Amino acid sequence: MAETTYLEAIRQAMFEEMERDLSVFLIGEDVGLYGGAFKTSAGLLEKFGPERVVDTPISEIAIIGAASGAALMGMRPIAEMQFIDFITCGYDMLVNFTATNRYLYGRACPIVVRGPAGAGTHGGPFHSLSPEAMFMNRPGLKIVSPGTAYDAKGLLKAAIRDDDPVLFIEHKYLYRRVKEELPAEDYIVPIGKAKLRRRGKDLTIITWGAMIYVADEAADALAADGVSVEIIDLRSIIPFDEEAVLESVARTNRVIILHEAPLTGGAGAEFAARIAEKAFDYLDAPIKRVASLDTPTPYSPPLEAAWLPNKDKVVAAARELLAY
């Protein structure tokens, strides 16, 4: 069986869901004739036509607004942000209208807002955002961030079938770098369920998205010194698998929370607080966060590399905890 890239897994998920359900359609900038800025929708226009693969003007608030209205009328739109950074232009519609519908009216609003996120591709401050923390404090939205091709396909299918709005954060650094064999049969990855990526006994790293590979590198480096690291890939940020997190902390007694967004106000702060509230008695050292620096993303490749979390930063944090 041929290996499937992370990008192709996303395209397959949209293709299969559009074939399965006539209410599913794709809307966004350049998603049709051009096939998407990164070619995630290549071939969809030819298969499904312009009524289900809809090119739009450059207006994210219009894209999210049109998709939300269609969702309230029984459709299941996938709204693409050409870069996830530009979701800020549709923030008002998404958090004040789309997210509140279930609470206000009891009506499902099954919209998926997806797009390329993250740094590592020298995109500078306007094309490198990791936006999860911006939306965590708005009840009504679900947020997922897959790190593997399997999870990208399974989570996108689950998001499309979900009756609540889902923010689907796909890391563009992974698009063509990550490959794996995918099942031929239909499958989904449940939203809200973490994955135990690596079992260990000395320290837990909680992470998601592209940072799972940084965690892998750090765990391998520490293993050379006899340190056993457990890695929890959250996959879903809201809702998140609190049970898996707390069980892991209870096993290892030390925890690092690793994420790509800047440290201050990042999603890791919420997970740290939850662990402190509910698993304090299990901790043998303070909770440690490893994240990007509190600046806009640099454009310069050497500066961007210094800005991002990496293996050495995680290993250093782990050694601090192990020596505490």
The residues facing 4 across adjacent strands are: 180
| Statement to judge: residues 9 and 147 lie in one domain | yes
CA distance 271 to 248: 13
| Statement to judge: residues 237 and 288 lie in one domain | yes
| Statement to judge: residues 106 and 157 lie in one domain | yes
CA distance 301 to 312: 18
Of the candidates 132, 155, 180, which is a domain's last residue?
180
Q: Enter the pTM of the model.
A: 0.97
* pLDDT tens-digit map of 241-265: 999 999 999 999 999 999 999 999 9
**Candidate list 122, 127, 171, 259, residue with the active-site label:** 127
Q: Could you tell me the residue range of the domain that residue 263 belongs to?
A: 195-323
Establish if 92 belongs to a structural domain.
Answer: yes
Q: List the CATH number of the domain containing 57.
A: 3.40.50.970
Calculate mean pLDDT across residues 223-248: 98
Calculate mean pLDDT across residues 279-298: 98
Of the candidates 180, 206, 239, which is a domain's last residue?
180
Establish if 100 belongs to a structural domain.
Answer: yes
Calculate mean pLDDT across residues 215-237: 98
| Statement to judge: residues 153 and 50 lie in one domain | yes
Contact residues for 60 (Cβ-Cβ < 8 A; gap 6+): 81, 86, 87, 88, 89, 90
Q: List the CATH number of the domain containing 273.
A: 3.40.50.920
| Statement to judge: residues 207 and 173 lie in one domain | no
| Statement to judge: residues 171 and 212 lie in one domain | no
pLDDT recorded at residue 36: 96
Q: Is 229 exposed, middle or buried (0-12, 13-18, 19+ CB in 10 A)?
A: buried
Establish if 40 belongs to a structural domain.
Answer: yes
Share of the chain above pLDDT 90, in %: 98
* pLDDT tens-digit map of 108-133: 999 999 999 999 999 999 999 999 99
Of the candidates 148, 180, 212, which is a domain's last residue?
180
pLDDT band at residue 1, thresholds of 50, 70 and 90?
low
Establish if 188 belongs to a structural domain.
Answer: no
Establish if 79 belongs to a structural domain.
Answer: yes
| Statement to judge: residues 110 and 200 lie in one domain | no
Establish if 186 belongs to a structural domain.
Answer: no
pLDDT band at residue 2, thresholds of 50, 70 and 90?
confident
| Statement to judge: residues 49 and 143 lie in one domain | yes
pLDDT recorded at residue 207: 98
> What tokens appear for 249 in the block?
């902390």
| Statement to judge: residues 156 and 245 lie in one domain | no
pLDDT recorded at residue 145: 98
Domain count, the chain: 2
| Statement to judge: residues 133 and 254 lie in one domain | no
Asked about 259 being catalytic, the answer comes back as: no
| Statement to judge: residues 241 and 314 lie in one domain | yes
| Statement to judge: residues 245 and 314 lie in one domain | yes
Establish if 187 belongs to a structural domain.
Answer: no
* pLDDT tens-digit map of 85-98: 999 999 999 999 99
Establish if 243 belongs to a structural domain.
Answer: yes
* pLDDT tens-digit map of 34-61: 999 999 999 999 999 999 999 999 999 9
What is the overall mean pLDDT for the chain?
A: 97
